[in-house]
Amino acid sequence: MPRSRPGALRAERGTYGGRRAPAWARELPPLDRLPPAASAEAHWALTCPDAADLLILLVSYRAFLDRPGDRLRPAASECPACPGCARDDVAVVRDELADAYRALPPGARVALGRVLARLDAEFRRRTLPDPDPPAAHRTDWRGNPYAWWHRRLYEDG
């Protein structure tokens, strides 16, 4: 059986071995508050529509945290089956940000991790933990526990 070249394996996995993003990716507008190099890596790794989606997710997460008042309470989506309406719930937005984080190459992942750490600290500070979350916010359909951002006090709870 022929052996694959290391570069082909890295390209298949999405790790770029420390190479810089191509020129077209460096010319695109930066994503939210990511440094230019990390933004170019994100554009390169995610392709343009997915990178724009990452920007929309960051903007909606910030919009939730920019609401006035000391304490925030997330609201559950009225139509969680609809992909657009599901993003009305900030926990779903944070889930999608976590998925995008895992899909990025190492350099962009570190930069996005810094941004998310600051936003998550603000989210934890301004929301209250739910001591007894409803069953829908405890585990997913496979029985895996949801992340901490699902176990916050919701408006209707």
* Residues whose CB falls within 8 Å of the CB of residue 7, separated by 6 or more in sequence, listed in order: 17
85 versus 137: the higher-pLDDT residue is 85
pLDDT for the residue 66? 93
pTM: 0.72
Mean per-residue pLDDT, 41-68 = 79
For the chain, give the longest Cα–Cα distance: 63
DSSP symbol at 27: T
pLDDT for the residue 15? 47
Q: How confident is the model at residue 150 (pLDDT cuts 50, 70, 90)?
A: confident
Q: How confident is the model at residue 116 (pLDDT cuts 50, 70, 90)?
A: very high
pLDDT for the residue 21? 66
Mean per-residue pLDDT, 36-49 = 68
Each domain of the chain, given as residue ranges in start order, spans: 6-150
Q: How confident is the model at residue 93 (pLDDT cuts 50, 70, 90)?
A: very high
Mean of all residue pLDDT scores within the chain:
79
Nearest by Cα to 19 from 99, 106, 102, 100: 106
Mean per-residue pLDDT, 43-60 = 74
Is 45 in contact with 108 (CB distance < 8 Å)? yes
3-14 pLDDT, tens digit each: 777 666 655 555
Mean per-residue pLDDT, 136-155 = 83
